[in-house]
């Protein structure tokens, strides 16, 4: 029996990096996957076909979860198409780095809006079908910098710290309805984004990791499968660090 057999999941920001890794791992474990994307329709179509080839139902939605009405419409469309909803993975996020003294209001607002407000929007929209099922699992993507902070990332760190507080509050509100809420805090994960960094910068990151390597999208995806599955039926309101020991 696959860990997510016949479950219906929404994964935001799934056409690259960690989100793509999660979508593929969910499909391997039997979940039917609805995913969102913002930019490349071609990449979305390619992912859709890859997921279907794994024997599950899959559909990509061009949707901005940072917009409240769009998040509501997405959940309604997914429930209409897939019949129900069991799991939401709030993965979509952006960075607009810069030292605080040079950070513009636009840089601050954009990151908080996309990273934090999107989690509120989609979580709120998904509660109704989960209450109907008396079953649900939210997995929200935080970051190690949500706990430690990081120079040049005050906006990003604040958004991720906010996600962790939000996750724990939702866990307390909905736990009695058999709806769980947990977060994952990845460390340095090797994705298309980090591939653009110089070897020197990457080397300094890896130097500070006890395991002496960067993580992979699959490392994060495996943890996400666990938290979304019934193997984590008594895990609620937690932040799971997937960081090779960077954050303890």
For residue 66, the Cα-to-chain-centroid distance in whole angstroms is 13
Residue 60 to residue 77: CA distance in whole angstroms: 11
Which of 3.20.20.80, 3.90.1200.10, 3.20.20.10, 3.40.50.720 would CATH assign to domain 8-237? 3.40.50.720
φ and ψ of 242, to 5 deg: -120, 85
| Residue labelled with tokens 């949500």 | 146
Which pTM value belongs to this model? 0.95
- 156 catalytic residue (yes or no): yes
* Residue 138 tokens, joined: 């939210």
Query: pLDDT tens digits for the chain (248 residues)?
Result: 899 999 999 999 999 999 999 999 999 999 999 999 998 899 999 999 999 999 999 999 999 999 999 999 999 999 999 999 999 999 999 999 999 999 999 999 999 999 999 999 999 999 999 999 999 999 999 999 999 988 999 999 999 999 999 999 999 999 999 999 999 999 999 987 777 777 888 888 889 899 999 999 999 999 999 999 999 999 999 999 999 998 76
Nearest to 111 by CA among 99, 122, 124, 97: 97
Domain spans, the chain: 8-237
From the list 37, 61, 135, 156, the catalytic residue is 156
DSSP H/E element including 171: helix 154-174
Q: How far apart are the first and last CA of the chain?
A: 33
Do residues 160 and 125 lie in contact, with contact meaning Cβ atoms separated by under 8 Å?
Answer: no
């Amino acid at each position: 029996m696959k860990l997510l057999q016949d479950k219906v999941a929404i994964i935001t920001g799934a056409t690259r990096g960690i989100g793509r890794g999660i979508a593929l791992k969910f499909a391997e474990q039997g979940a039917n996957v609805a995913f969102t994307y913002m930019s490349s329709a071609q990449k979305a179509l390619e992912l859709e076909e890859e997921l279907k080839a794994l024997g599950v139902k899959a559909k990509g939605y061009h949707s901005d979860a940072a917009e409240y009405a769009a998040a509501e419409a997405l959940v309604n469309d997914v429930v209409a198409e897939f019949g129900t909803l069991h799991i939401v993975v709030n993965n979509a996020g952006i960075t607009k780095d810069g030292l605080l003294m040079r950070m513009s209001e636009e840089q601050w607002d954009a990151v908080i809006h996309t990273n934090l407000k999107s989690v509120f929007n989609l979580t709120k929209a998904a509660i109704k079908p989960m209450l109907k099922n008396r079953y649900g699992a939210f997995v929200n993507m935080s970051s190690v910098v949500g706990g430690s902070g990081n120079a040049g990332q005050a906006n990003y760190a604040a958004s991720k710290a906010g996600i962790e507080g939000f996750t724990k509050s939702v866990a307390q509100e909905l736990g009695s309805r058999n709806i769980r809420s947990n977060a994952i805090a990845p460390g340095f994960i090797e994705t298309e984004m980090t591939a653009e960094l110089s070897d020197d910068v990457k080397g300094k990151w890896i130097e500070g990791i006890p395991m002496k390597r960067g993580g992979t999208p699959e490392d994060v995806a495996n943890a996400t499968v666990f938290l979304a599955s019934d193997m984590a039926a008594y895990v609620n309101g937690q932040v799971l660090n997937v960081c090779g020991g960077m954050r303890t």
